[in-house]
Structure 1
Amino acid sequence: MFKNLLIALLLLHVSVTYPQKAKAQSNLELSVQGTNILMDGKPFPFSGISFFNAIFNPTFNKSSSERKKWLSKFDRYGINVLRVWGQWDNKLGFVDTCPTCTLYNSDGSLRQEHLTTLKNIIQDAASQGMVIELALFARESYNDNIRLEQQEADKAVAALTRELLPYRNVVMQVWNEHSDRVLDHLKTIKTIDPRRMVTNSPGYGGDLGDEKQNQALDFLTPHSSRQWVGRHWEVAPLEIKYLQQRFKKPVVDDEPARNGTAEFGGPAETPSPFDQILQIYQVWQAGGYIVYHHDMFQKGYGHPSVPPSGIPDPEHNPYHRMVLKFISKRARYAK
């Protein structure tokens, strides 16, 4: 009888403990404390990669198992944050762009197909301890006159905030490289979801944001100065350190200098991967965080810079592999 009772207790323990563990894993809570980013109250080594087309890429979204395979690969290279965009409807010819590649209808309602895909990405990322940094709106689309009117934008932000309430491993970044009505959208988000981490990319490289915006946001994600300043691996870390010291909050070098085409803010001359490695190292030494920016999405399928999958594959070429192998050694080189 004692043996049967012991087995029953063990089964009860399994049935209670494991669902709770799974639930906790799917509700990872991102927060900040001083200049540190935390996950479930513990330091989180926020290390991202630009994957702007993630919601709209057919290979990545073929199945949950396919996504998890890629997420595991990112993890092996030290990546625990995907920076994805809610708008991928610009006319620049980037891989996977299309007129309907956006979370929003023109009336501010949400496109259910893409919303479902986003939620699936978020859940698969959470299962592997990863974060999604979601840029709600894109300057590239805005420049192409693809934009929501004020009332419709408010409706879209409110609806998306409500939909993402259960998912705590998401950072909402209001804009990529723009600052239109940031404080209005911040207020909308915080009214619905006070604990949601909100940030913004205020403008092109070197735009560090205005005082009111930087004071209000949970942490800062500027695009630091790129190759046109010369030794960007020295300049950009100073920008990150300045913001960190002035505003006493975490700072992410969100879309730093990169390799590839000179178009879209790229380098006029061929860079070295050591340029990126030095910059990343100096940002880490300053106590900041990084997102690896690259050229693996800026042309169409078939271009040598774009992986056949359209996914930013860490092993697509030796340049990326070298930088990302360094990022995977963060625990060795960061303070």
Structure 2
Amino acid sequence: MSDILVEDKTPTPAPVPRTPRLASRQLPKWAPLAIAAGAIAIAAAIGAGFGLDSKIQWGLIALVLFVLGSYVITARVEGRRQAKDRVATSLVWSSFILAVIPLYSLVQTTISNGSKVLDGTFLTHSMNNVLTIQPGGGIYHAIIGTVEQVAIATAIAAPLGILTAIYLVEYGKGALAKWVTFFVDVMTGIPSIVAGLFILSMWFVLLDKAPATGFAGSLALAILMMPIVVRSTEEMLKLVPNELREASLALGVPKWRTITKVVIPTALGGITTGVMLSIARIAGETAPIALLVFGSNVINNDPFKDPQASLPLYIYQQYGNGNEPSYDRAWAAALVLIAFVMILNLVARGIARWKAPKTGR
């Protein structure tokens, strides 16, 4: 029997037209840039028309026009709900710009003025036998003083601050812990001049002589540094999961060993970052150094004897001389101090990233 092919003459149904999807109107991605360019152009025209000389005024007008323009255009195209979201985003970016402009102006002014005399000679010489009205001299003695004073303050404040934070988090549950927390909060807001006056009075009462040493300034800096270390360390210890503590204690490990072998290593990155940031905080203090260290034009490597220089005090004294060479030295020293603080912050960020918990893939 042979197969018979039968042709299928059933008509093919016509394709059903697709219903178009509902599409909402959206602004193109380049719309914010166009609105910003238009706001700047209108602000420049307004500033020129009304005779506004300050570019800051032009910028503020441009920001206001940018926010208003974003809302109006977005509301007409995408609706009021999206317009409110666009305005919130615009306000965030505007706040960011307003915060960055002073910082940029500060850094740019310091670099332009401080780079005039900043060279190898300036970094390796002191002000010994240099008249204030003459060019020359350097900040080598001030760098030594700042490094030694900050190092001594760190050696005093960091261990005490870390141990205090460990007590507050791991042991402190009663009235003593509440009082310690209260006094730490009070010390956080103490002006630096008050810390200097406290050490000055104690120095006179206990030793019956004027301080005039780098060590006295370090004691005041340690008072300013300690609450920052306590607070940062306390927050880092609270971030350690309680499950780690409970697992260690369940295995019969004593509490002190759990703290030293489990808790502290887990929070070590954050603790180190807090200490580095507190060092950057006290490195620029001038008032306690002026009261207790007095400053010096010669190199003094002994922080426990005789007056000693410091970078913040050097900047203050040089700018107070009121002549062009002193102004140049003050700006150059300020640039070095900013670089020192920036390096400390970069080191803190590097340590935080290095010690951050590693997540698996």
| Shorter-chain TM-score range | under 0.3
Highest Rg: 1 or 2?
A: 2
Q: Which has the higher contact order (CA 8 A, sep 6+)?
A: 2
TM-score by length of 2: 0.23
Higher strand share: 1
| Between structures 1 and 2, the one with greater helix share | 2
TM-score by length of 1: 0.24
